Structure 1
Amino acid sequence: MSGQTLTTQHQTLALLLFSAFVAATLAITTWVSRHRQGSAEEFYAGGRLFSPMENGFAIAGDYMSAASFLGISGLIALFGYDGMLYSVGFLVAWLVVLLLVAELVRNCGRFTLADVVAARMSERPVRIAVGTSSVTVSVLYLVAQMVGAGSLVALFLGGTTEAARAWTVIGVGALMVVYVSVGGMRATTWIQIVKAVLLMAGAVTLTVLVLVRFHGDINQLLDTAAERSGYGKDFLSPGRKYGADATARFDFISLGLALVLGTAGLPHILARFYTVPTARAARRSVVWSIGLIGSFYLMTIVLGFGAAAVVGTSEVRASNAAGNTAIPLLALDLGGGPGATGGTVLFAVVAAVAFATILAVVAGITLASSASVAHDLYASLKRRQAGQHSEVAVARIAAVGIGAAAIALGLLAQDLNVAFLVGLAFAVAASANLPVLLYSLFWRNFTTKGAVWSVYGGLVPALLLVLLSPVVSGSPHSLFPGVDFQFFPLENPGLVSIPLGFLAGWAGTVCSREPADEAKHAETEVRSLTGAGAA
């Protein structure tokens, strides 16, 4: 059941549903744009008017990306137990956000991660460092969404896969620029809320249908998945992807660290805490999002094993080597197959929901990265002259440049699994952003030099290790399979780069000639814990 078997009926219905969602989101963007978008608070934070429930749904919509819906389920369908580890890592990460980050970030910052760090440091070097890191993480995350969009549309357009992927990536990039530059945070938030509702509804429907197919018997589902995988009972045990040798085991540890620690350093997630009026509302937002996200990731486990049991691992791999099309193929089969009306409708609905997922997530990431360019990089260089209106104008222009970069990289990385690509973004976020954030919030003696060293000490090694890893060269599945400059054996750099980020921050502080500003730290500590003086 490959993309070639899909009929014109599937293609037409899926395209109609895609078009309907795009039209609806563009209508939301147009409606929201009538509100005044000239102020930075309105453009970056939606006027801080969202309730905890609304923001919780938006956070869930921002976080449950193509990696979650397409990539994780695909990895489970291909690798069984080892693919399920992504679901666990993505969910556990929210405990770090809830307990250590949400309220403090809301109290200390205004629009970006750099606001939190710069509150007690010399602004210019800190903003340049953190802004550069935030844009890098955002672009890596965007690439994963582009790849997911390309794989999805190539599936239902059949034989013209390369052209379909390329034009889809370009189209998604253009749409995300429109959403951000026209609607700002308010439009982006409502798009994410609509997407979260659609995604949860689609996931619940598919999960129920999978369980009905196997009469609610989870053991039968797992046994069938193991049988159709071609690996037997080994499919349900560790080792298909990460247990073959010592290198694979270290790669798994590296991936786990990146997933658990990376969420708290993602710029587009941290930016969502500024859209609510108080720190208490930010914390309640996280509680709402954890409920939604936890339910969703439990369902991805059923869907992944369901795809292996119903469609078959070999068929999933034949359709897309990275497994990115497992969920649409599962929907097609559950609805009655390629020739059935139910199969056509369910496939088209699921494909449209996945496409909605991608559009909503890329809008949030693009907004966060363009905010970093304007509020951190541009404003730090032009701080005395830059007004709010010029900042917002720069943010809109930055959205275009970031969109172009994401399109180019998305075209290059079309054959990689989207969950894997997001894992790389999480590793960079955990290496460069998390250390400087935690040090700024909790270490009294932390200095400006320590902050700058912490960011670059995590960012540069993470990027270099990815470039020298099997992801880029040295294997048949690399970005450049024809060359080999691989020196680092792990696919995910987190095991090395995350400790280096923390170590660099400590070393920079110890080597700093200027002592930490005790008064600024005391002021920041009071504001972070009580909210006094928070924006």
Structure 2
Amino acid sequence: MSGDHQTLALLLFSAFVAVTLGITTWVGRDRHGSAEEFYTGGRLFSPMENGFAIAGDYMSAASFLGISGLIALFGYDGMLYSVGFLVAWLVVLLLVAELVRNCGRFTLADVVAARMRERPVRIAAGTSSVAVSVLYLVAQMVGAGSLVALLLGGTSEAARSWTVIGVGALMVVYVTLGGMRATTWIQIVKAVLLMAGTVALTVFVLLRFHGDFNALLTTAAERSGHGKEFLSPGLAYGGGWTARFDFISLGLALVLGTAGLPHILSRFYTVPTARAARRSVVWSIGLIGGFYLMTIVLGFGAAAVVGTDEVRASSAAGNTAVPLLALDLGGGAGSTGGTVLFAVVAAVAFATILAVVAGITLASSASVAHDLYASLKRPRRAGKPHARSHATPHPKPSAKSRAKPRGEVAVARFAAAGIGAVAIALGLLARDLNVAFLVGLAFAVAASANLPVLLYSLFWRNFTTRGAVWSVYGGLVPAVLLVVFSPVVSGSPGAMFPGVDFHVFPLQNPGLVSIPLGFLAGWIGTVLSREPADEAKHAESEVRSLTGAGAV
């Protein structure tokens, strides 16, 4: 871009950041510091508002930048992410949404602890929630770095690094100042902008080919360098047995991972009833479904209009395919139209990143404060159960107990800063990986550590505390270790540390191994447990999950 056009792009780009900060400040001014306000926004959002917020939380940089980039690079095989992310919502709608809203209060651990001994369960669930959240945050950081580096006119490593640091700082500001209420409104604004921007780009792509989708696909295949193979399965996952097992592993992770994502589960607590939670999911499925259909057009459009080689030259992982497509559709580099459309798309993509990182940071800081901090601080009472259990309906806090929630909120704000620092460090290491691929790893960890314990707690009468703890760690530890010793970290040209090779696990996604291990560990822990399952707690939890009686 020329200097003037680059300045225009930066001004348009910065305007959105200023608007979102203004929303955060305005919405956060009336907060009264309670845990319910900070974690759930007072549970005052309507199903439509929450549905838009869920869509805004879910349609991350992986969706807008990563999926389109993978389709531009690998054609048919790149569409797996679009299909997997969308199908996953059927699991959420049918098995999770209503039951979680009735059983929990703020976090995933609330659901599990409703019928178990709280301390070990909360520590395990809180640890896994933070691990999943940090992995998800890394993907958003990488997307932000690629986007702003392109906006500044190149692929400068310094620009990408400073962008990652800046996004980390902004997400901490959003969470600490505004809590769930501000985060939700940022996500709603982002969802509206993202859908509008995606619709506009999709229309422009189809107009370029006069509405002929077949011509679009034919041109994409010609400019990809792979010919008809670009439109057939196997370009990315059609090699030997390793590639095929990676395909299955990725599919399992995408379909099962959404129901275990902490920042998605926490959204069900922001509505007043379980029925509203289910209606929220219906709203979000409609928005998300339409969006993922359009990412297919954008991905093939980038291959046809920009060219696969040019996309790969800008970003080896394909993260800049959509901004480059916008630049070309607007008139090309150096044109005012191209600059404006590019800047608008960049602002929308950055809005996507900011909204998602705010939601994830809030969910993970809530786990640190509400689960880890509160559990470690709570004194043990010899020979007696805890004075208050989440197995009973949550009473309104007395005047004496108000200090504890306020203390949790303060810890949550400090935790947001710590989590942001960890995500920044990992984001700098993973800056050359595709953001959709990184999110796939987060989904695999969520499906391995969180989903088994959640389903067992909701549906298995004999499930015990030992089974819950073993289920979480039995999925979390193998998933993380398999990623560390996989080609993602070392031993391949695109690894985090390409100069060394200590990988022993051949697959890039651990889901095929770690997800069954999570379920198996929960079953073994329950079978070997000396502590019998509490029938009374299970019955009470079952009634509350199905009817909402006693739910907060």
Same fold (TM over 0.5): yes
Counterpart of 1:3 in structure 2 is: none
Q: Distance in 2 between matches of 1:8 and 1:57?
A: 37
Of 409, 412, 421 in structure 2, the residue corresponding to residue 392 of structure 1 is 409
Task: Give structure 1 regions of 4+ aligned residues with deviation exceeding 6 angstroms.
Answer: none
Counterpart of 2:378 in structure 1 is: 383
Q: Distance in 2 between matches of 1:132 and 1:7?
A: 48
| Contact 2:139–2:436 under 8 Å retained in 1 | yes
**SS in structure 1 opposite 2:378?**
coil
Deviation by residue 1:405-447 (Cα, 9 ceiling, x = unmatched) = 0000001100000000000000000000000000000000000
Matched, 1:108 2:95: no
**Map of 1:272-291 to 2, 5 A cutoff?**
272-291=267-286
Of 257, 262, 286 in structure 2, the residue corresponding to residue 262 of structure 1 is 257
Counterpart of 1:143 in structure 2 is: 138
User: Which deviates more from structure 2 when the two are superposed, residues 35-44 or residues 56-65?
Assistant: 35-44
Q: Distance in 2 between matches of 1:200 and 1:136?
A: 30
Q: Distance in 1 between matches of 2:155 and 2:317?
A: 18
Deviation by residue 1:484-533 (Cα, 9 ceiling, x = unmatched) = 11111000000000000000000000000010000000000000000000
User: What amino acid does structure 2 have at the position aligned with 1:36?
Assistant: R
Cα displacement (A) at 1:34: 1.6
Q: Distance in 2 between matches of 1:281 and 1:461?
A: 36
**SS in structure 2 opposite 1:80?**
helix
Counterpart of 1:418 in structure 2 is: 435
**SS in structure 1 opposite 2:190?**
helix
Matched, 1:464 2:456: no
**Map of 1:132-281 to 2, 5 A cutoff?**
132-159=127-154, 161-281=156-276
Residues 125, 30 of structure 1: alpha-carbon distance in 2 compared, 3 angstrom cutoff? same
User: Which deviates more from structure 2 when the two are superposed, residues 51-60 or residues 158-167?
Assistant: 158-167
Q: Distance in 1 between matches of 2:204 and 2:157?
A: 32
Cα displacement (A) at 1:16: 1.2
Of 470, 487, 510 in structure 1, the residue corresponding to residue 504 of structure 2 is 487
| Contact 1:10–1:156 under 8 Å retained in 2 | no
User: What amino acid does structure 1 have at the position aligned with 2:550?
Assistant: G
| Contact 1:37–1:184 under 8 Å retained in 2 | no
Cα displacement (A) at 1:37: 3.7
Q: Distance in 2 between matches of 1:525 and 1:80?
A: 46
Counterpart of 1:362 in structure 2 is: 357
**Map of 1:513-524 to 2, 5 A cutoff?**
513-524=530-541
**Map of 1:434-453 to 2, 5 A cutoff?**
434-453=451-470
Q: Distance in 1 between matches of 2:5 and 2:117?
A: 57
**SS in structure 1 opposite 2:211?**
coil
User: Which deviates more from structure 2 when the two are superposed, residues 349-358 or residues 8-17?
Assistant: 8-17
Deviation by residue 1:222-251 (Cα, 9 ceiling, x = unmatched) = 000000000000000011101111110100
| Contact 1:10–1:348 under 8 Å retained in 2 | no
Matched, 1:347 2:342: yes
Of 18, 22, 29 in structure 1, the residue corresponding to residue 17 of structure 2 is 22
Cα displacement (A) at 1:160: 6.0
Q: Distance in 2 between matches of 1:305 and 1:159?
A: 24
Counterpart of 1:407 in structure 2 is: 424
Q: Distance in 2 between matches of 1:8 and 1:293?
A: 37
Matched, 1:531 2:526: no
| Contact 2:220–2:303 under 8 Å retained in 1 | yes
Deviation by residue 1:102-146 (Cα, 9 ceiling, x = unmatched) = 000000000000000000000000000000000000000000000
Residues 140, 434 of structure 1: alpha-carbon distance in 2 compared, 3 angstrom cutoff? same
Counterpart of 2:518 in structure 1 is: 501
Q: CA RMSD in A?
A: 0.9
Deviation by residue 1:271-315 (Cα, 9 ceiling, x = unmatched) = 000000000000000000000000000000000000000000000
Counterpart of 2:301 in structure 1 is: 306
**SS in structure 1 opposite 2:507?**
coil
**Map of 1:32-71 to 2, 5 A cutoff?**
32-71=27-66
Cα displacement (A) at 1:26: 1.0
Q: Distance in 1 between matches of 2:339 and 2:213?
A: 27
Q: How many residues align?
A: 530
| Contact 1:10–1:347 under 8 Å retained in 2 | no
Residues 305, 160 of structure 1: alpha-carbon distance in 2 compared, 3 angstrom cutoff? closer
Counterpart of 1:90 in structure 2 is: 85
User: Which deviates more from structure 2 when the two are superposed, residues 336-345 or residues 466-475?
Assistant: 336-345
Cα displacement (A) at 1:9: 3.3
Counterpart of 2:70 in structure 1 is: 75
Matched, 1:327 2:344: no
Q: Distance in 2 between matches of 1:8 and 1:419?
A: 32
TM-score between both structures, scaled by the size of structure 2: 0.95
| Contact 1:253–1:495 under 8 Å retained in 2 | yes
Of 490, 495, 505 in structure 2, the residue corresponding to residue 478 of structure 1 is 495
User: What amino acid does structure 1 have at the position aligned with 2:410?
Assistant: A
Deviation by residue 1:71-96 (Cα, 9 ceiling, x = unmatched) = 00000000000001100000000000
Cα displacement (A) at 1:30: 0.9
Q: Distance in 2 between matches of 1:119 and 1:348?
A: 48
Q: Distance in 2 between matches of 1:425 and 1:10?
A: 37
**SS in structure 1 opposite 2:194?**
helix
Q: Distance in 1 between matches of 2:528 and 2:122?
A: 20
Q: Distance in 2 between matches of 1:152 and 1:48?
A: 34
In structure 1, list runs of 5 or more residues that go unmatched.
1-5
In structure 2, list runs of 5 or more residues that go unmatched.
380-400
